[in-house]
Amino acid sequence: MTWARNVEQENSTGHEWAEAVNATGNGFSVVGHTNSRRPGVQQAWVLQFDKAPPPLWERTYGGGEPGTGTLGRAIVAAPGGGLIVAGEEQLAVGRFRGWLLVLSPEGDVLWERTPGHVGVNGLNAIAVLEDGSPVAGGVQDGAGWVVRLDSRGNRLWDVALPQVEHVTALVALPAQRIAVLGTSETSTVGLGISRLLFLESDGRATAEKRLPTEGQGELNALASLPDGGLIAAGRLSHSNSMDKHLWVVRMDSRGEILWEYSSSQLDAGRAIAVFPDGGVAVGGYSWKDFLVDREATVWRFSADGRLLWQRSYGGAGDDMGYGIARLADESLVVVGMTSSQGAGKTDLWTFGLSPEGQPLWEASFGSP
């Protein structure tokens, strides 16, 4: 088993990745993971920035013996300052559970919770309701899962959503309601379908929409708009094709589709930033020639669905955009992964853009 040990050793360090970004005041916070601080151990990694690098502070969280650790999947601002991180804790090979972490504005741990049980389980979406209670979504026991806690970390309720195999995104609605996006009928060779569910304040599902109405498509990101509507982004397969293309869906407050956009290239939407006029920027990635490597891509849409501009970013290697946020000055920040630069095999990557998509700054963070 010499070759297996070599592969394990090769991948035990040098990999950093950003999963999500959240605008916080005049700056932004980033969550991801690293296996370089403690080789062989995955740790959640949070970085807090002003308007641009270097970070004001950065810290890692969790992690024990090799083969265990924590992964940060989503981040949101906590009421009154601070941050809430959602992800998963790995206890052993193939044994995971949901993980929630609340931090002070300086990155100190205020409380930490693992609200579910052990399995192939985890959390990958987080939002805060009007009353300040956090609600998170992910997967538990092969079904979509949503859990709501109070501001002190006490569990109020959790519900299984058998309509979907896992929750991909959720947003807070008025009156403590929640819009939940999930995926079902997933496959290793093609796309499944997405379902949009509306939950009442006690977790009861009261409405459901299939997306797309025909064919196959998976939506990974969901955001609320200034007029109370919703917008989602992901990937769509066109008729009689296995190719996957950017897919953006604009809906009203009930989930009725107002407009859709799909590209002709091989690409995917991973995150959404909303502008005050109802326009959005979608962050994701596009495949380069020969489908070997990817490049980070941002698409800017008007409120009525017109594509205003599209730009790609990165170098000669594999580069992906995973999160996007609009800052107070209307600029954009994108986070993800790069293998085109930096010290490690893959580095956490972030860059800033003007509202028109022009690069403002760029930085990568990692270890060899």
pLDDT of residue 368 exceeding 50, the answer is yes
pLDDT tier, 292 (very low <50, low <70, confident <90, very high otherwise): confident
| Cα gap 302→284, rounded to integer Å | 18
pLDDT tens, residue by residue, 15-63:
999 999 999 988 999 999 999 988 889 999 999 999 999 999 999 999 8
Strand 347-353: give its sheet, edge to edge: 319-326, 332-338, 347-353, 359-365
Give residue 7's pLDDT: 44
| Cα gap 261→249, rounded to integer Å | 7
Do residues 348 and 16 make contact, with C-beta atoms less than 8 angstroms apart? yes
pLDDT of residue 9 exceeding 70, the answer is no
Give residue 66's pLDDT: 82
| Cα gap 367→344, rounded to integer Å | 5
- Beta strands (DSSP E) in 104-226 are 109-113, 122-128, 134-140, 143-149, 155-161, 166-172, 178-184, 193-199, 205-211, 216-224
pLDDT tens, residue by residue, 175-187:
999 999 999 999 8
Going by their DSSP bridges, the two strands 69-77 and 359-365 should be labelled as unpaired
Structural domains in the chain?
Answer: 212-367 (2.120.10.30)
Do residues 267 and 287 make contact, with C-beta atoms less than 8 angstroms apart? yes
Give residue 64's pLDDT: 79
Give SS3 for 227. Answer: coil
| Cα gap 320→337, rounded to integer Å | 5
Q: Which residue has the tokens 């403690």?
A: 38
Give SS3 for 346. Answer: strand
Give residue 4's pLDDT: 44
Q: Which of 190-199, 229-238, 282-291 has the lowest mean pLDDT?
A: 282-291
| Cα gap 75→162, rounded to integer Å | 25
Q: Which residues contact 267 (CB under 8 A, 6 or more apart)?
A: 244, 245, 246, 284, 285, 286, 287, 297
Give residue 10's pLDDT: 55
Give SS3 for 6. Answer: helix
pLDDT tens, residue by residue, 298-336:
999 999 999 999 999 999 999 999 999 999 999 999 999
Half-sphere exposure at residue 213, Cβ-oriented, CA atoms within 13 angstroms: 8
Phi, psi dihedral angles at 192 (to 5 degrees) = -95, -140
Alpha helices (runs of H) in 12-126, residue ranges in sequence order: none
Give residue 88's pLDDT: 97
Give residue 242's pLDDT: 75
- Whole-model pTM: value is 0.95
Give SS3 for 266. Answer: coil
Q: Which of 25-29, 96-100, 153-157 has the lowest mean pLDDT?
A: 25-29
Q: Which two tokens stand for residue 103?
A: 């931090």
Do residues 344 and 15 make contact, with C-beta atoms less than 8 angstroms apart? yes
Angle, alpha carbons 70-66-91 (nearest 5°)? 50
pLDDT tens, residue by residue, 65-79:
888 899 999 999 999
pLDDT tier, 100 (very low <50, low <70, confident <90, very high otherwise): very high
Q: Which two tokens stand for residue 213?
A: 């109405």
pLDDT of residue 277 exceeding 60, the answer is yes
pLDDT tier, 8 (very low <50, low <70, confident <90, very high otherwise): very low
Across the range 144-162, mean pLDDT stands at: 97
Strand partners of residue 42: 69
| Cα gap 123→199, rounded to integer Å | 17
What is the overall mean pLDDT for the chain?
A: 94
| Percentage, residues of the chain above pLDDT 70 | 97
Give residue 11's pLDDT: 63
pLDDT tens, residue by residue, 121-140:
999 999 999 999 999 999 99
